[in-house]
Amino acid sequence: MADNKEKTFDVDKLLKNKLKTISVGDLEAGISKAVSDLVGEDYKCTIGEIKYTLFSGADFHVKVELTYNNND
């Protein structure tokens, strides 16, 4: 018979939204790098207004565009 263990949540952890500690520039750089690595071409990311949610989340608009660097 399976154990019926109750899940407990650390309310303090949920309410401390760590996303607020990350700068928008760092988020943009991270997303740009991830997309560039996946696609194999240089992309840039722009993030619009961020609305932080209760329980450690965030809503924001992300715009990803191919960059045209002529460094080759």
Q: How many domains does the structure of the chain reveal?
A: 1
Burial status of residue 27 (CB atoms within 10 A of its CB: 0-12, 13-18, 19 or more): middle
| 65 is a domain residue | yes
| 48 is a domain residue | yes
State which amino acid sits at residue 20: K
| 29 is a domain residue | yes
Which of 6-15, 38-47, 61-70 is the least confident region?
A: 6-15
CA 15, CA 22: separation in Å to the nearest integer? 16
- Structural domain containing residue 65: 25-72
CA 24, CA 27: separation in Å to the nearest integer? 5
| 7 is a domain residue | no
Q: What is the pLDDT of residues 58-67, one digit of tens each?
A: 999 999 999 9
**What's the pTM value of the predicted model, to 2 decimals?**
0.71
| 72 is a domain residue | yes
| 70 is a domain residue | yes
| 16 is a domain residue | no
Q: What is the pLDDT of residues 11-25, one digit of tens each?
A: 777 678 888 889 999
State which amino acid sits at residue 33: K
Q: Of 50, 47, 40, give the one whose Cα is nearest residue 64.
A: 47
